[in-house]
Amino acid sequence: MSWYRNAVWFVKGLREYTRSGYESASKNFNPADVEVNVAGRSFLVTGANSGIGKATAKEIARRGGTVHLVCRNKERAEVAKGEIVTETGNQNIFLHIVDISNPKEIWKFAEKFKNEHKLHVLVNNAGCMVNNRELTEDGLEKNFATNTLGTYILTTALLPLLEKEADARVITVSSGGMLVQKLNISDLQSGNGTFDGTMVYAQNKRQQVVLTEQWAKAHRNIHFSVMHPGWADTPAVRSSMPDFYQKMKNTLRTEAQGADTVLWLAVSSEATKLPSGLFFQDRQPVPTHLPLASTHSPPEDEEKLMEVLEEFSQKFKSTSPG
């Protein structure tokens, strides 16, 4: 059935995920939803030096929010921070250099951050699509380390801080590619069979949807959501999917269009009127499975994913410096 899932997903993508899909959907948007002042609220955005992360951070800054940029590359991050401050006039922009593929580094950062700042909204945007199987210095497959384990550790480490605030939110940037994957907990680090970076990425994005659903059940005081930005023209797409980019470049969404639903989920009062744990596209909750796609997983697999990630998480917490 994988050929069927891929074909249905691609046809759906051509119709909904491109720029024309956004333009069609946006006719039903209420501009007032995001015309808000969020001064006094604190936002943390990972992968914020380019693409959707930077576009999100910039729009939050325009609305007066305090924005913490979490980035891996210091030079590019400094440039992004300068651009955001200059364009928005908002001086409350803070930079943190953290590699989201390094669990010990995440723990160290989170413990320090909890002692120094407050947090209302976490945006898990950082991600990667590595097309060959690479291991981090901790022996973790790089896509899994960044997209799944890094997202899990940062979120769970910051939950106590979020729990203290009113209207706390966690938004995770996933992908419609997850629609072609069923949760596979037997090979989380993609060590078996032929390695396909696109499918590994899609599996990680399915895992993020499951994480969001599980967190929503466990933490009722926080509003969790996961979203698909559509197919946007970002540096990550250009570098990770060059063939796709060449074919689709004239139809891709802008970075701001890709970030629109992230912004809406982060600042709009309308977003939190909807249940926690949903998957969004263009400001609307959408199904997490294609019709007839057989991608549903049993509850015990979803619970097992949480258990395994918690085990990984604690292992790296116990060895983290400081």
Kindly tell me if the per-residue pLDDT of 297 is higher than 50.
yes
Cα angle, residue 250 at apex, residues 84 and 247 outer, rounded to 5° = 115
> At 277, is the pLDDT very low, low, confident or very high (cuts 50, 70, 90)?
very high
pLDDT of 219 reads 98
Backbone angles phi, psi at 308, to 5 degrees: -65, -45
At 197, the pLDDT band (50, 70, 90 cuts) reads very high
- Could you tell me the CA-to-CA distances from 240 to 112, 144, 157, 200 in Å, in that order? 33, 16, 29, 13
Per annotation, catalytic residue among 4, 17, 201, 245: 201
Residue 113 vs residues 33, 196, 292, 315: alpha-carbon distances, Å: 30, 36, 44, 20
What residues does each domain of the chain span? Answer: 3-315
Q: Which class is 3-315 in CATH?
A: alpha beta
Question: Is residue 239 predicted with pLDDT exceeding 50?
Answer: yes
Of all residues in the chain, what percent carry a pLDDT higher than 70?
97
pLDDT tens for 116-132 read 999 999 999 999 999 99
Q: Are 161 and 276 in contact (CB under 8 A)?
A: no
Per-residue pLDDT band for 12 (boundaries 50, 70, 90) equals: confident
Summarize the confidence of residues 237-254 as an average pLDDT: 86
The per-residue pLDDT for range 44-99, each reduced to its tens digit, is 999 999 999 999 999 999 999 999 999 999 999 999 999 999 999 999 999 999 99
Cα-trace Rg, the chain = 18
| Mean pLDDT within 187-213 | 96
Q: Is the pLDDT of residue 318 over 70?
A: no
Active site residue 201: yes
